[in-house]
Structure 1
């Protein structure tokens, strides 16, 4: 499988943080970047990708920011991964089997897909199905049970101060 980009991690954390906003509020991109210790331009690139896939709503202007476009239970982890890294296959078969010494030059010898390609795409389908079955709401539940009280309070205070 391919290595996921750093943007996927950033997007997952940003989406999780946005679940804590009060109804109707937004969080500025600058605040999201500050919270996660990344540059604003880097973060905004990923937020634009999430907005293009209708996972977040972007409100322009000096009082603007981001909020979830749908309920956390309606946003899968696969939705987020594909918004950032695309939905194309992770494995690309380049048919190098045709380059081996003594390999047939007859195109008919290669009518069936390469068995390596078949296995890799099968494994990718399992991985995508697993991400499709998990939602942002599952991450919220994980956070509630795994993030300590002190950190949860700090996150809540940050959101209260920064949301608009």
Structure 2
């Protein structure tokens, strides 16, 4: 609800519904609402501890290969999720999906 994805419906038959059309809610919106906006990988700069602690600061001006690779993977993952919407998932549901699941999606649409 705080992320603007769901709206609360009060009352005995209340619950939640989508706050926006399914085509305007990306999977990245959902992930950010559940997991938060922070990146999945957090570099702790282990290069600057232990044997690397005595290296000059200029050696740490750029991220290490692991951090750079993780950043590229994170960006690709986020782009892919941002390119897919809840409507895409609904459209991709198999025609023989249980009626209960289809009714649930329709109820979320509002």
Offset at 1:158?
7.3
Offset at 1:147?
4.9
**Which residue of the partner structure matches residue 132 of structure 1?**
82
Pairing partner for 1:148 from 96, 105, 108: 96
Q: Which runs of 4+ in 1 moved over 6 A?
A: 157-160
1:78-109 CA-to-partner distances (Å, cap 9, x unmatched) read 10111101110111111111224255343232
Pairing partner for 1:111 from 54, 61, 64: 61
**Which residue of the partner structure matches residue 77 of structure 1?**
27
Q: Using a 3 Å threshold, how does the CA distance of structure 1 residues 137 and 91 change in structure 2: closer, same or farther?
A: same
Q: Is the 8 A contact 2:8 2:14 kept in 1?
A: yes
- Flag the structure with higher helix content: 1
Q: Using a 3 Å threshold, how does the CA distance of structure 1 residues 155 and 94 change in structure 2: closer, same or farther?
A: closer
Unaligned runs of 5+ in 1: 1-50
Tell me, in whole angstroms, the C-alpha distance in 2 between the residues paired with 1:91 and 1:62. 42
Q: How many residues align?
A: 106
Pairing partner for 2:17 from 62, 67, 87: 67
